[in-house]
Amino acid sequence: MNMNCKMVTDIAELYYDNSLSPETKKAIRSHLRGCQKCREYYRQYQAVRKQNTRPAVQILSEEETSEIEKKLWTGISEKMRRRRFWNIVGTSAAIGAGSVMLTIGLLLTYNQKDHSVE
């Protein structure tokens, strides 16, 4: 199998990951031995891949996990406290407004009755 530069650069990732057939790997090795440009490209590709091989998931220590949980619960507690406060304020305002309206209604009703003495 004969490889050209475009083919080698297109499948460099598969070659790096060792995901090619033995025959294809042999053809790429042969091309890299004879092509300075592709050899340099592959060296740069390897360097970049080695730099970017951080684990996808970072494992946190127990202390870090505990600190994060504490911050989360503090934030949640604060939000719940504020929500309770505004619920009490809203309920109190509704009760106060209702009381005022009831009082006005009773006063208007009382004033409309005829209170004349016979």
Which of 25, 36, 19 is closest to 3 using CA atoms? 25
Per-residue pLDDT of 103-118, as tens digits, reads 998 988 877 765 555 5
Per-residue pLDDT of 1-47, as tens digits, reads 788 999 999 999 899 988 889 899 999 999 999 999 999 999 999 99
**Structure confidence at residue 66 (pLDDT):** 83
Which of 102, 8, 22, 118 is closest to 110 using CA atoms? 102
- 10 Å Cβ neighbour count for 12? 19
| pTM value > 0.75 | no
Place of tokens 């092509």: 35
Q: In whole angstroms, give the CA distance from residue 84 to residue 61.
A: 35
Per-residue pLDDT of 39-76, as tens digits, reads 999 999 999 888 876 655 667 788 888 888 888 888 88
Q: What residue type is assigned to position 59 of the chain?
A: I
